[in-house]
Amino acid sequence: MSENPEPPATEEIFVPESRPPGPLDEKILAHFPGLVVRKDLTNGLKQNAVVPTYVLEYLLGQHCATDDAEVVKAGLESVQKILAKHYVHRNQAELVKSTIKEKGRHKVIDKLAVELNEKGGFYEAVFTNLGIKKVPISDDFVRRYPKLLVGGIWCIIDVTYEVADDPKASPWQIDSLKPIQVASVDHEAYIKARAQFTTEEWMDVLMQSMGFNPEMFGRRAKLLTLIRLIPYCERNYNLLELGPKGTGKSHIYAEFSPHGMLISGSEVTTPKLFVSNSSGKIGLVGYWDCICFDEFAGKDKKVDKALVDIMKNYMANRTFSRGIEQLTAEASMVFMGNTRKSVAYMLKHSHFFEPLPDKYIDSAFLDRIHAYNPGWEVAPVRHELFTDGYGFIVDYIAEVLKHLRTEDFTGAYKKHFEIVSEVSTRDQTGFEKTFSGLMKILYPDGQATAQEIEELLAFSMEARRRVREHILRIDDTFKRHDFVYRPLAGGAPVTVLTPEELQYPTFAGPRPKASEESAHQTAGSHTVETPTLDLGATAGATQSTRLDSTPPPPQPGHVVVPENTKGWSYRRLFAQHLQGASQIKIRDPYVRHFFQSRNLMELLEMIHDLVPDGDEVQVHLVTQSDPETCVRQEEHLNQITVAFTGSRVAFTWELDHGLGFHARSLTTDSGWKISLDRGLDIFQRFESGPFSLEQALQEARLTRGTEITYLRA
């Protein structure tokens, strides 16, 4: 008798590289035993099994939730065997069906959806990957797991096969099923363990739980990423994020939680989303905590205006109607889409909602959006952004976030701050819900300092201000007002502005009328867009300047380069003050690594462009070294010296071996000292290569937050 056929094992066995856990990893393992997993294990397994992250980590959590290398290796082998034996690949469906027939019974891991057979009055299941349909399923399973009826859920299913006497009856039977999710969460234990971490550590724990390497993100970038979790922990929260392709906007909603549903924006219908008037069947909003509309932008999308009207009412009041009956739901709405234009272009010529289908560019609909997350500030996904550290099993943190939906922190800021500007009810609801969500994520016990609360309040008000400012560009009936708060303990009121308003003050504010735009333009090629520096509060404005005009003289002042912004370059920041100098001294103790030497090279290239033919400028670098980098540092700096030999820049360098050398600056013989709090290291790491715009243009890179002061020497 031949052996029963088995699904073949995965083609390549993933063997993790043994690595000791870092200090944060050890802390996570100590306070959340059995609830964390190494994230690179998930990424390695996903190469061979196209299943959601929470499915893989459910299995990894049962077998690999430890830092013991041998246990991890053995557990990983067990998970791979389970996937090889029970996970259904679409191209192996017939082989799996044969296995069930020959054995009579077999467990499979598949996504199961259920439909009601209206004529027969019973439920039938559909196996997504296995491809079998009309499989009878017990009413008891449907009552216990109602999400089977709306989109389906991943399960471990015990399937039997027996040919029935009735040829119309299905030979397939579901003997048992178990949704792949954590059974329960001890919320009090979670709160207690959270108290053992600093805010920075906790941010890093959450970033690693989302699969990202926190070392590659600044604090603002972390907040921009964590805001994507709010729809899971805040009821009826409406989030919009538009940005370039490849920034991982939809990753969290496709992979992170069994309580979220990702659907294409073009697949939305009223019955699917809300209710079918013919059958009375409640749609997605009745069963899911978060519904994300992917690929929401696009002028070519067909949009039902009636659906837009229903969504407006639901997003504002949590209600929708079925005939004369009013129904309520708690699902949060997330809208994700791609932008093709630069931030400056949209500010100058249109608005930030411009990529959306025309029927959604409706001020009443957009006013229901609680926060606009600037996707253009998020770095494109690349290999080094992913972590190999430990993070929560995503299903565990998903259950924690679901529990937090019952909490309310909207008024937690009122102990320390008051809103002193006139704001609309929707504006206040918007930033308060964002604030509440971030408090739940970062401070679930509600214990945060006034400084920590201020950070979240300002960030939340900024996210709502972005909505308000760009509604004003499409509907001038909306009232303009500022977003201002004041500390109750005393101090000056703080006006919250968005980074793009600070970066492009010339284009900020109401969109200019066509007649106003033309009045500011000069015909032909006599006008160019020239970057100039305004060294007051609004640094880095772009203004139109005559070719034959004399540029304004450089002035003392202070510039704040916001974190996660684009459009900045050494030319924009330094050219005015270095122009005309014949000697420039650079003091920066951290020109040690390759990327720091590359920054220096780019500064020297910019200086070279400023020097007229026949002239020369002497540039001298004073830096420091360490035993780990000294050899490569010397090699790089000597190569730069050779590269500029005979050019308009005479470059020299020396090492300062003294202690306490931290201040970084540029000093010229023309009377300027430019103080640099980060030195030349103002750009985040970026994808390099012959076709990388970031490598070719500094303005295309995301910045690290920095401050620059211009002084008369």
Helix, strand, coil in percent for the chain, rounding step 5: 40, 20, 40
CATH of the domain spanning 191-404: 3.40.50.300
CATH class of 90-179: mainly beta
- All CATH 3.30.870.30 domain ranges of the chain, comma separated, are 527-712
Both tokens of residue 2?
């031949």
Kindly tell me if the per-residue pLDDT of 213 is higher than 50: yes
pLDDT band at 58 (very low <50, low <70, confident <90, very high): confident
Average pLDDT of the residues in 250-271: 83
Closest by alpha carbon to 215, among 559, 688, 684, 553? 684
Q: Please give the pLDDT value at position 425.
A: 94
- All CATH 3.40.50.300 domain ranges of the chain, comma separated, are 191-404
DSSP state of 552: P
- Please classify residue 52 by burial: count the beta carbons closer than 10 Å to its beta carbon, then call 0-12 exposed, 13-18 middle and 19+ buried: buried
Average pLDDT of the residues in 469-480: 93
Kindly tell me if the per-residue pLDDT of 255 is higher than 90: no
Q: Are 362 and 308 in contact (CB under 8 A)?
A: yes
| Max CA separation in the chain (angstroms) | 99
Average pLDDT of the residues in 520-547: 35
Residue 490's region, left for phi above 0, alpha for psi from -120 to 50, else beta, is: left
Q: Please give the pLDDT value at position 242.
A: 95
What are the pLDDT digits (tens) for 588-630?
A: 999 999 999 999 999 999 999 999 988 999 999 999 998 888 8
Tokens 């990423």 — which residue? 225
Which of 90-94, 246-250, 536-540, 706-710 is modeled with the greatest confidence?
706-710
Average pLDDT of the residues in 109-137: 92
- Looking at the domain 527-712, which fold is it? Endonuclease; Chain A (3.30.870)
Both tokens of residue 58?
């459910």
What are the pLDDT digits (tens) for 629-673?
A: 888 999 999 999 999 998 999 999 999 987 767 889 999 999 999
Q: Please give the pLDDT value at position 340.
A: 85
Q: Please give the pLDDT value at position 12.
A: 54
Reported pTM: 0.80
pLDDT band at 17 (very low <50, low <70, confident <90, very high): low
- All CATH 2.40.50 domain ranges of the chain, comma separated, are 90-179
DSSP code per residue over 232-244: HHSTT-EEEEEE-
pLDDT band at 533 (very low <50, low <70, confident <90, very high): very low
Strand partners, 392: 36
Closest by alpha carbon to 319, among 236, 427, 443? 236
pLDDT band at 545 (very low <50, low <70, confident <90, very high): very low
pLDDT band at 2 (very low <50, low <70, confident <90, very high): very low
What are the pLDDT digits (tens) for 342-357?
A: 898 999 999 999 999 9
CA-based angle 148:154:158, to the nearest 5? Answer: 90
pLDDT band at 65 (very low <50, low <70, confident <90, very high): confident
The Cα 258–Cα 268 span in angstroms is: 20
DSSP code per residue over 448-501: --HHHHHHHHHHHHHHHHHHHHHHTTT-TTSPP---EEEETTS---EE---HHH
Residues 6 or more apart whose CB falls under 8 angstroms from that of 172 comprise 100, 132, 135, 159, 160, 161
Q: Are 193 and 199 in contact (CB under 8 A)?
A: no
